[in-house]
Amino acid sequence: MNTAAIRHDTDWIGQVVDGKFTLIQWLGNSGHGDVFLTELPGDSPQKAAIKLVPANSPSAELQMVGWSAVKRLSHPHLMRLLHVGRCQISGTKLFYAVMEFAEENLAQILPERPLSPTETREMLDPLIGALAYVHQEGMVHGHLKPSNIMVVNDQLKLSCDVVQTAGRDVKPPPTLTVYDAPERARQGLTPAIDIWSLGATLVETLNQAPPAWDRSKHTDPLVPSSVPSPFAEIARDCLHTDPALRCTLNDIQARLKPASSVAAASKIKPMPTVMPAPVAKADTTRLRMAVILAAALILIVGIVFLATRSRPSGSSTAETQTAAPVAETPKTASPLPKSSPAVGSLKGAVVSRVLPDVSPSASNTIHGTVKVRVKAAVDSNGSVSDASLESMGPSRYFSGLALQAARQWKFKPPQVDGKPVPSTWILQFEFRQRGPSVTPSEISPAL
């Protein structure tokens, strides 16, 4: 039976699999079976995906064996296989597997834009971790490509429904692609097959197209010059036609480790207030002078700001300037009472703003303006305690950059009766090719 008949010849939407899983929406055909949206039973239903494979297909029994083995696997970056079983719908005998629901996959992103080197490095770390775990468990993915690199609850995960035991003589796909290693057509599944697929996927991630390769010529694929280092070298070492010459996952991790450690440190550690490296004596003197001048400038700006806020609303600039000497008299210099409106109803202000760090390759994909609204909850110390999306716009990538930047903003908290209080701000991010911009507005408390 052709698996396409599942969705075309029979209207199965609304059917219930095994008395538990309702077929809500057809999501697509993976080449091994059809996938539908369903829900997990319970008081709080959760979305899930269910894959149906005709029981009379040539590899159905083998698929069922593979699913039973995969069900025991558990890794944070490997999708979970929740249920497997047999069922019958409209007289058709089927095997089914229920797994986590993925909001999107890498194959949906790449037609719009390639990933930046930073994004690619961040993708590789969890991907390699999941592959290494699969291999350590004596299994092989066998179908690594962008469409099988998923996003589940904003977390990258590798698909699980095609994983099989290593060494098993699994029939190759009817049509071999550049993601299928040369030996895929003539021998069983091995970890080296996944290494080849990883190399092809890496090239497409940065180039929006897999490497050019003629399977009949028995030569290594060509890695485009547009792929930057160290990814180009990694891809070439993955894409040797001789499996014995391919690199290992440990080799790839070793090449990425120095740079990834620096990137992680820059994200997690706060900016140091003291230069960590020793500086020359002359440089130290200049640094101290710069700090003193900066502190003096801040003090002057603060005095001017307070003088401006405390003057009557109807005063002009000239009146403020002439009244300044009077402030030295004891009567004017006395502290304002706490009930004064100037102290009791001060609005908040932005102290430090952070713009999203958009890579040049991502900026080039913008046509017009991408708008993202972030709601920031600010505590009484002026730090962002929580940030959420009011409007995420058309791109999950730019929404994530806006959230990450918003969490680093600092504010001067508003005051009520002379005391700092929490507040809420809306940050309107606008991404354009020339760069991002932000418009902040305080929405609470109402003063």
pLDDT for position 270 = 35
Series of mean pLDDT values for 10-residue runs along the chain (447 residues): 45 89 88 87 88 84 85 93 91 92 93 94 94 94 94 90 82 84 85 96 96 90 94 96 93 76 39 35 45 54 51 38 39 40 68 87 80 93 92 80 91 89 93 90 73
pLDDT for position 343 = 46
- The CATH fold assigned to 104-266 is Transferase(Phosphotransferase); domain 1 (1.10.510)
284 HSE (CA, 13 A, CB side)? 7
Q: From the DSSP assignment, how many helices (H) and strands (E) are in the chain?
A: 13, 21
pLDDT for position 375 = 94
pLDDT for position 66 = 85
Q: Which of 437, 270, 409 is CA-nearest to residue 349?
A: 409
Q: Given CA atoms 99, 25, 17, 43 in this order, what sign does their dihedral have?
A: positive
Q: Could you state, in order of their start, the residue ranges of all structural domains in the chain?
A: 5-100, 104-266, 344-447
Q: Which of 42, 56, 52, 46 is CA-nearest to residue 15?
A: 52
Angle at 424 between CA 308 and CA 369, to 5 degrees: 95
- Per residue in 272-286, pLDDT (tens digit) is 333 333 333 344 444
Q: Which of 347, 407, 408, 413 is CA-nearest to residue 380?
A: 413
Residue partners of 61: CB distance under 8 A and separation at least 6? none
Distance separating alpha carbons of residues 312 and 365, to the nearest angstrom: 51
pLDDT for position 299 = 56
Q: Which of 58, 56, 84 is CA-nearest to residue 69?
A: 84
5-100 to CATH, choices 1.10.460.10, 3.90.700.10, 3.30.200.20, 3.40.50.720: 3.30.200.20
Residue partners of 9: CB distance under 8 A and separation at least 6? none
Q: Which of 163, 162, 77 is CA-nearest to residue 125?
A: 77
Around Cβ 93, how many Cβ atoms within 10 Å? 13
pLDDT for position 368 = 84
pLDDT for position 2 = 46
- The CATH fold assigned to 344-447 is TolA/TonB C-terminal domain (3.30.2420)
333 HSE (CA, 13 A, CB side)? 6
Decide: 428 and 444 in contact? Cβ < 8 Å: no
What angle separates helix 191-207 from helix 231-238, to the nearest 10 degrees? 140
Decide: 39 and 33 in contact? Cβ < 8 Å: no
Phi, psi of 431 (to 5 degrees): -100, 125
Q: DSSP letter for 182, please.
A: G
Distance separating alpha carbons of residues 137 and 126, to the nearest angstrom: 17
